[in-house]
C-alpha cells in the first residue's frame, strides 16, 4: 500500500542514498528533528522519525512496527518472502524461538570467555604492522580481526575466511547513490556454508555450527524440533555478515574519531580504564548502521499526522544519537560524557545479539592499537566512505603513524 496520498510534504529533503549528504548528514538530521520530526519522502515513499524518544519507542513497539518483511528500506518495499531463520527479520513468536537460541550462544559470559582469543587475534594482526609508518585501518585491521573471530565461532577454517567476507560484503554493495537491489542480492544462506554444515555433521566440534546442528527448541507452532538446514544457513549468514560488518566499521570509526580528537586519544593511552566509555561514545557519535526500517501494521499518529498501515517507517538511529533533547551538546565527542543509552545496537526485542562481542572487539582494538601506535593521522584525501541504507563506514582509511610506543 502506498501512503503518499495522505502524507504531508515535509519542509526538508532527506535522501538516504545521497552520496554528498552521507559525508556529513548531521546538520540535515538536526533539521529533521526540529522541522520534520515525522518526515515523509515522496520519491521513495517512506516515513522517518529522528528524535530519540520516538526512535526508542518505535523499536520497543514490535506489534505496530513489524520486522517480518525485513529491517531494510529496499527489502520492505519489495515484499519478498524471506527464508526461515533470518531472525533479525522475524516477529514473535518465531523470532522469540530463534532469538533464544542465538542469545544462549552469544551470552555475555560466553562472550567474555572469548576475550583471550580476541586479544590473540588482535595482537597478531597489529604486530605485523609494527615498523610500518603507514597502513590501512580497514584492509590491514578491520577486515582481518572480526572475520577471524566470527570464523572461529562458527568453525570456519581460516583459509576460507576471505571468501566468506567478500561474499558478505558484496551483498551490501550498491551503485553509488542507488538503493540495494535485493532481486540480485542473495538474502538467505550463502552456498559457502553448505559444505561446512556437511563437514560438521560428520565432524562435530566445540563451535556454534555444531550447536546449531544439535540444539532442540520449541518453535512458533509449539513443536519441539531441531533447526532445519535452511534455518542453519540463515543463522550463519546473519552472524557472518553482522559479525564482520559491524565491528569492521566500528574499528574504522574508532581510528578516525580518535585521530580527530588527539587530546582524548592521549588520555586513553595514559589511562586505558577509560576505553570502555570511549567505545560507547564512539558508538553514539558515529553509529555503523544509521537507520533501521519497519513495516507499519496499523495506523499510528505522530505530531498530528497519521502514518497509515502498509507504510514503511525508518528509524534514524544516527539522528537520535545526537538529539539535544537527550544528549547535552550532542555534536561534541566526549569520552567523559554523562552516559545515556545510545541506539546504535537497537532497542527492544531486536537489540543486536552480538553487541557484547562488538564492544569487546572495539575495546581490545583500541587498547592494543594505543600500545603500539599512540598517535596517528588519517590521510583523508585517500580515505573512502561508503553509505547505504544499512551501513555507513570506511572502505579505505589510510593511517600515518606519527608517534610510536616507546
Give the per-residue pLDDT at 331.
98
pLDDT at 217 over 60: yes
pLDDT at 29 over 90: yes
CA-CA distance, 335 to 311, in Å (whole number)?
38
List helix spans (H) across 155-228. 161-170, 192-202, 208-214
pLDDT at 19 over 80: yes
Produce one character per residue of 143-176: b if its CB has 16 or more CB atoms within 10 Å, e if not: bbbbbbbbbbbbbbeeeebeebbebbbebbebee
More confident: 10 or 45: 45
Q: How confident is the model at residue 4 (pLDDT cuts 50, 70, 90)?
A: very low
Has this prediction a pTM greater than 0.95? no
More confident: 128 or 170: 128
Interval 308-330 mean pLDDT: 97
Q: How confident is the model at residue 245 (pLDDT cuts 50, 70, 90)?
A: confident
Give the per-residue pLDDT at 5.
42
262-289 pLDDT tens trace: 999 999 999 999 999 999 999 999 999 9
Give the domain ranges of the chain: 4-403
Q: Longest Cα pair distance anywhere in the chain, in angstroms? A: 65
Q: How confident is the model at residue 3 (pLDDT cuts 50, 70, 90)?
A: very low
- Mean pLDDT score of the chain: 89
Q: What is the DSSP string of 314-376?
A: EEEHHHHTT-TTTSSSTTS--TTPPP---STT--GGGS-TTHHHHHHHHHHHHHHHHHH-SEE
Give the per-residue pLDDT at 191.
61
Interval 337-354 mean pLDDT: 92
103-133 pLDDT tens trace: 988 888 888 899 999 999 999 999 999 999 9
CA-CA distance, 383 to 380, in Å (whole number)?
5
Produce one character per residue of 240-258: b if its CB has 16 or more CB atoms within 10 Å, e if not: bbbbbbbbbbbbbbbbbbb
Interval 162-190 mean pLDDT: 56
Give the per-residue pLDDT at 1.
42
Give the per-residue pLDDT at 183.
52
Q: How confident is the model at residue 165 (pLDDT cuts 50, 70, 90)?
A: low
Interval 35-39 mean pLDDT: 96
pLDDT at 179 over 70: no
Interval 306-331 mean pLDDT: 97
Percentage of residues of the chain with pLDDT beyond 90:
66
More confident: 20 or 299: 299
pLDDT at 247 over 80: yes
Architecture of domain 4-403: Orthogonal Bundle (1.10)
Give the per-residue pLDDT at 167.
61
pLDDT at 189 over 90: no
Give the per-residue pLDDT at 11.
75
Amino acid at each position: 500500500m502506498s501512503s503518499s496520498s495522505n502524507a504531508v510534504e515535509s519542509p526538508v529533503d532527506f535522501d538516504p542514498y545521497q552520496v554528498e549528504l552521507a559525508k556529513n548528514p548531521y546538520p540535515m538530521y538536526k533539521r529533521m528533528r526540529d522541522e520534520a520530526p515525522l518526515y515523509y519522502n515522496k520519491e521513495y515513499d517512506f516515513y522517518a522519525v529522528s528524535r530519540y524518544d520516538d526512535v526508542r519507542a518505535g523499536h520497543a513497539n514490535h506489534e505496530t512496527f513489524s520486522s517480518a518483511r525485513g529491517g531494510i528500506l529496499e527489502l520492505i518495499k519489495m515484499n519478498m518472502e524471506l527464508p526461515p531463520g533470518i531472525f533479525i527479520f522475524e516477529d514473535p513468536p518465531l523470532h522469540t524461538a530463534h532469538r533464544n537460541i542465538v542469545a544462549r550462544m552469544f551470552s555475555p559470559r560466553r562472550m567474555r570467555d572469548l576475550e583471550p582469543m580476541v586479544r590473540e587475534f588482535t595482537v597478531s594482526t597489529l604486530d605485523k604492522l609494527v615498523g610500518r609508518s603507514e597502513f590501512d585501518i580497514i584492509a590491514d585491521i578491520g577486515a582481518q580481526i572480526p572475520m577471524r573471530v566470527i570464523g572461529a565461532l562458527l568453525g570456519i577454517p581460516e583459509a576460507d575466511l576471505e571468501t566468506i567476507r567478500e561474499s558478505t560484503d558484496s551483498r551490501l554493495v550498491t551503485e553509488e547513490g542507488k538503493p540495494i537491489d535485493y532481486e540480485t542480492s542473495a538474502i538467505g544462506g550463502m552456498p559457502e556454508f553448505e559444505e561446512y554444515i556437511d563437514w560438521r555433521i560428520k565432524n562435530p566440534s566445540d563451535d556454534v555450527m555444531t550447536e546449531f546442528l544439535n540444539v532442540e527448541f520449541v518453535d512458533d507452532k509449539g513443536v519441539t524440533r531441531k533447526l532445519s538446514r535452511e534455518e542453519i544457513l540463515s543463522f550463519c549468514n546473519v552472524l557472518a555478515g553482522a559479525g564482520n560488518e559491524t565491528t569492521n566499521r566500528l574499528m574504522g570509526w574508532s581510528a578516525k574519531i580518535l585521530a580527530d580528537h588527539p587530546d582524548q586519544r592521549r588520555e586513553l593511552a595514559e589511562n586505558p580504564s577509560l576505553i570502555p566509555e570511549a567505545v560507547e561514545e564512539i558508538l553514539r557519535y558515529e553509529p555503523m548502521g544509521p537507520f533501521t526500517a519497519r513495516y507499519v501494521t496499523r495506523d499510528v499518529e505522530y505530531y498530528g499526522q497519521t502514518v497509515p498501515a502498509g507504510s514503511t517507517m525508518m528509524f534514524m538511529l544516527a539522528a537520535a544519537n545526537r538529539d539535544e533533547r537527550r544528549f547535552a551538546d550532542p555534536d561534541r565527542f566526549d569520552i567523559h560524557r554523562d552516559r545515556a543509552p545510545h541506539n546504535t545496537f537497537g532497542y527492544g526485542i531486536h537489540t543486536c545479539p552480538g553487541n557484547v562481542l562488538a564492544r569487546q572487539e572495539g575495546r581490545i582494538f583500541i587498547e592494543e592499537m594505543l600500545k603500539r601506535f599512540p598517535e596517528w593521522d588519517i590521510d583523508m584525501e585517500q580515505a573512502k566512505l561508503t553509505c547505504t541504507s544499512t551501513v555507513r563506514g570506511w572502505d579505505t582509511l589510510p593511517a600515518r603513524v606519527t608517534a610510536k610506543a616507546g
